[in-house]
Structure 1
Amino acid sequence: MRRALLLLATLALVVAGCSSEAKNPQPPTGWVDEDISFDADGLTIHGTFRHQNTPGPAALLISESGQTDRNGDNAVAGPVGNMRQLAEYLSDHGIATLRYDKVGTGKTGLGKFKDHPAEVGSAVYTAGARAAIRFLATRPGVDTAHLSVYALGEGTIHAMNLATDTAPDAPKIHALGLFQPLSARYLDIITGRVHADVDAAVSSGAKTRAQADAVVAAWNAAVAQARTQGTAPDTLPEGLSAILNAKNVKAVVEADSIDPVALAAKIPAATPVLLTCSDADNQASCPAEQGLIGALKHTALTVVALKGVNHVLRDDPTDNVANYAKKAPLSPQLTDALNTFITK
């Protein structure tokens, strides 16, 4: 259940995030990595605005779930650096970017949530994204007619929230990059993985059917408890307490309350959308994404089925979490797709 642990373990807010910002190489001539900060409902968020003096398009980058910093690094997978690489790719193509340390990571830290970290849930992350896009839209030289959002995994939920934001001060989102997005409600995704894992254990002889059924029953009861009472059991079998526990239950329940398919259906028609899925990513396989793809048919949708690309957008057919922090470029399959998409 290691991939399931990665998906939700980053929601455990007692774990400090990590940041590799200080190790970044100097940007090429003409581009500046400017340290910035902005307010999100009383929380000061820190990030990097990568830009040059020439006016042009800009993009907001939103990292993976929970405590993941501006570069895509977190305490579970280590210094991944994929969002920094995405920013560098986009600047090579004339697009300014803003990426930021989510609450609990990097310079942002827990801020006003220091004494009550369990109050941080999906709504706090969405508030951060809303503040970020408004800050980006006010930067000198940013062409607000070509303002895009690129997000990975659970970050795609916040990206779609920005695209459907109807507040008077909400910037219009020109295009969306949804990389390996959540395809269903959070706990439904995890439940599917629990079933698959125990079935595989039965097939291999590692568990009896009775043992597997007991694990599934315990997990199903925990999901029902979380959804109806907002609480989690003290213990769960098979390490499942790392996924759902008293410290992260608020964040999990808030995330689970969002239906990505319903959200996708509200994105304005004709919005250019790039959605990626991968045969090597158990968090975002192409068959699992069909419901979301169907909900996006009214947009100017491009679907890219990646081959042998892991969840952090690099070539690795094993999708082993231990490899996520290995220094490797973004998959050429992704950048080839972006080469066309960024022109839309």
Structure 2
Amino acid sequence: MWNGGLGLAGTLTVPREARGAVPIAVIIAGSGPTDRNGNSLMGIRPNSYAQLAWRLAERGIATLRYDKRGMFGTQGTFDITRTTVDDFAADARAAAESLAREARFSRVGLVGHSEGASLALIAARQGAPVAGVITVSGLGRPLGEVMRDQLSRQFDSATMVRYDTAMKHYLRDEQPGDVPPQLGMLFLPVNQTFMRSLAAFDPPAAIRAVRQPVLIVQGETDLQASLADAERLHAARPDARLVVVPEANHVLKHVTDRTLAGQMPTYTDPSIPIVPEVVAAIAEWILALGGR
């Protein structure tokens, strides 16, 4: 797929026995170096997006999943130091607009996972051809708040004081001085513009600006996006449908353990299936869009 002069590699999955035009969903990846299948260069390999695409195809729904700009099969060049959250959202928007021109697809929806949920909300603001938005494990607070909350559970108060000071400078486009060594990857100069735009992003305000129907899907045992996040999004859009899936974690796998150590096998084993209830909630909602 192409957004201007930038080509992104992706995979189109269509129902095997499609008769006539079928709905299609664009799957938008979460944060970090995540590929079209939901796997990361950092050793995370749940294969969740690929599994979601296969299961949706079984229910008569096509999908496009793609690698993020700057990774894997990207063609063309762009300035990563000037890239913002809006640029990543524009890639999803370009995909939706391209697919909407194909007669074999009846309507186009966006399925954003984690950070991708925020990108889906931004991409949908311009209206058609996006018919609906699904946020899966989406954040209900600015990323800066969420990131600090997660880090505070891993590091002592002295480290967090240094983090707060460094982040204050970083988000002002200044060079942070005293960066805790174990957090150095968070303060790379190349990501400064993007991080500043993402830290300022307000998910409740964004979901209020979306005029299309919205589905909010949240796993009950998700350690990265909480039920409180989903409820904040729902409070901002009370007409949205909220589905909480019991014992589903951030990578959409079944797990009862509420510790990261206990959940790690689901992050690294691509053979573990995603929770069927997640697929059902998404599929039923997309298919119902045609009757809205």
When normalised by structure 1's length, the TM-score is 0.74
CA 313–231 in structure 1, closer or farther in 2 if over 3 Å, else same: farther
Tell me which residue corresponds to 2:146: 189
Tell me which residue corresponds to 2:121: 160
Contact 1:234–1:246 (CA<8 Å) still a contact in 2? no
Superposition deviation, residue 235 in structure 1: 4.9
Q: Deviations over 1:38-86 (max 9, x none)?
A: 3213211121222356312111111112432211122024433211111
Cα distance in 1 for partners of 2:67, 2:96 equals: 14
Q: Deviations over 1:10-41 (max 9, x none)?
A: xxxxxxxxxxxxxxxxxxxxxxxxxxxx3213
Extract unaligned runs of 5+ from structure 2: none
Contact 1:72–1:79 (CA<8 Å) still a contact in 2? yes
1:76 aligned onto 2:42: yes
Residue among 51, 60, 65 paired with 1:99: 65
Cα distance in 2 for partners of 1:274, 1:46 equals: 27
Taking the TM superposition and a 5 Å limit, the aligned residue runs for 1:121-270 are 121-143=84-106, 146-166=107-127, 171-198=128-155, 212-227=156-171, 229-237=172-180, 239-268=182-211
Tell me which residue corresponds to 2:7: 44
CA 112–237 in structure 1, closer or farther in 2 if over 3 Å, else same: same
When normalised by structure 2's length, the TM-score is 0.86
Cα distance in 2 for partners of 1:278, 1:232 equals: 38
Residue among 1, 24, 32 paired with 1:58: 24
Q: Which moved more, 1:86-95 or 1:71-80?
A: 71-80
Superposition deviation, residue 238 in structure 1: 6.4
Q: What is the one-letter code of the residue matched to 1:341?
A: W
Superposition deviation, residue 232 in structure 1: 4.6
The alignment-based identity, stated in percent, is 26
Contact 2:46–2:266 (CA<8 Å) still a contact in 1? no
Q: What is the one-letter code of the residue matched to 2:151?
A: V
Q: What is the one-letter code of the residue matched to 1:245?
A: L
Taking the TM superposition and a 5 Å limit, the aligned residue runs for 1:13-32 are none
Q: Which moved more, 1:334-343 or 1:40-49?
A: 334-343
Q: How many residues align?
A: 280
Contact 2:36–2:66 (CA<8 Å) still a contact in 1? yes
CA 226–281 in structure 1, closer or farther in 2 if over 3 Å, else same: same
Extract unaligned runs of 5+ from structure 1: 1-37, 199-211
Contact 2:52–2:279 (CA<8 Å) still a contact in 1? no
Cα distance in 1 for partners of 2:219, 2:120 equals: 20
Q: CA RMSD in A?
A: 2.2
1:336 aligned onto 2:275: no
> Per the alignment, in what secondary structure is the counterpart of residue 287 of structure 2?
coil
Cα distance in 2 for partners of 1:196, 1:334 equals: 28
Contact 1:231–1:246 (CA<8 Å) still a contact in 2? no
Cα distance in 1 for partners of 2:86, 2:283 equals: 33
Tell me which residue corresponds to 1:309: 248
CA 232–188 in structure 1, closer or farther in 2 if over 3 Å, else same: farther
Cα distance in 1 for partners of 2:33, 2:118 equals: 15
Q: Deviations over 1:86-136 (max 9, x none)?
A: 111111111121111111322126x303xx543333232112112111111
CA 290–314 in structure 1, closer or farther in 2 if over 3 Å, else same: same
Residue among 71, 74, 86 paired with 2:52: 86
Tell me which residue corresponds to 1:24: none
